Amino acid sequence: MFALVKKLLIFLLIVIIPNLLIAEERKFNLGKIATKTEIAGWDIDVRPDGLGAPIGSGSAIIGEEVYAEQCASCHGDFGEGLDRWPELVGGEDSLDTHDPVKTTGSYWPYASTMYDYIYRAMPFGVAQSLTHDETYQVVAYLLYMNEIIEEDFILNDKNIGKIKMPNVEGFLMPDPRPDIANISGNPCMKNCNSPTKIIGKARDIDVTPEEEKS
């Protein structure tokens, strides 16, 4: 008898009461609680501090093979980019020039972003097909090609948040806009000092698509 009461009490405590509490807090009682397994399958993002990095590891040595097989057909053997596909390597000291080259090495501030993006979106058209180890290998290879880590460095979930990228200090926050002069709402209306000399014409550059050029 006592055992039955105890069981009932435990049932009340563990199952009924928490559910009642939850139901009370939820305003509309819509949707369902997500299970750990469901979340694990979709929660693939990796943060700069390494939070979310899945267990795994890889070095540039093996990464070179994975890269050659999975990435080089678009990005080139050395990350130089083919046709209009983006280059991934080089571009250092180019950001303040007339033709900046923004690569993982010259521009990307965090190695975590490389992991996150490559795993979620690459290879283009075969998203989320690399294993976690393969992804670490490819990231390691790109970091090595950009002279950020050594060839035998083992990149893993513990150290990806500690890789220091060359351009990590290259970004400015917060947004300084409105950065323009006139936020008074009263611009000049008559005889304004405005240049009216034509210095360029799109027609002369001639890159506008003509759909039926004969």
Find the binding residues for other proteins in span 31-60 (CB under 8 A). Answer: 31-34, 38-39, 42-45, 47-49
Q: Which is nearer to other proteins, 1 or 125 (CB)?
A: 125
Residue 162 as a binder of other proteins (CB under 8 A): the answer is: no
Tokens 């949707």 found at: 31
DSSP 122: -
Cα–Cα distance measured from residue 110 to residue 200, given in angstroms and rounded to the nearest whole number? 39
Residues 60-79 close enough to bind other proteins by CB under 8 A:
74
Residue 24 as a binder of other proteins (CB under 8 A): the answer is: no
* 120 neighbors 6 (Cβ within 8 angstroms): no
* CA 160-165-169 angle, 5° bins: 125
Q: For the window 90-109, what string marks contact with other proteins as x by the rule CB under 8 A?
A: -----xx-x-x-x-x--xxx
Residue 211 as a binder of other proteins (CB under 8 A): the answer is: yes
Residue 20 as a binder of other proteins (CB under 8 A): the answer is: no
Closest approach, Cβ 89 to other proteins, in A, equals 14
Of 2-10, 61-69, 148-156, 188-196, which part binds other proteins (CB under 8 A)?
188-196
Question: In sequence order, what are the residues at sequence separation of 6 or more whose Cβ sits closer than 8 angstroms to the Cβ of residue 85?
Answer: 74, 75, 76
Residue 84 as a binder of other proteins (CB under 8 A): the answer is: yes
Closest approach, Cβ 55 to other proteins, in A, equals 19
Tell me how far CA of residue 18 lies from CA of 4, 12, 22, 26, 177, in angstroms.
21, 9, 6, 12, 48
Residues 132-151 close enough to bind other proteins by CB under 8 A:
none
Closest approach, Cβ 24 to other proteins, in A, equals 12
Q: Which is nearer to other proteins, 115 or 136 (CB)?
A: 115
Cα–Cα distance measured from residue 76 to residue 82, given in angstroms and rounded to the nearest whole number? 6
Question: In sequence order, what are the residues at sequence separation of 6 or more whose Cβ sits closer than 8 angstroms to the Cβ of residue 128?
Answer: 44, 119, 120
Of 6-14, 132-140, 153-161, 183-191, which part binds other proteins (CB under 8 A)?
183-191
Q: Which is nearer to other proteins, 162 or 214 (CB)?
A: 214
Residue 112 as a binder of other proteins (CB under 8 A): the answer is: yes
Peptide bond into 178 cis (omega under 30): yes
* 62 neighbors 144 (Cβ within 8 angstroms): no
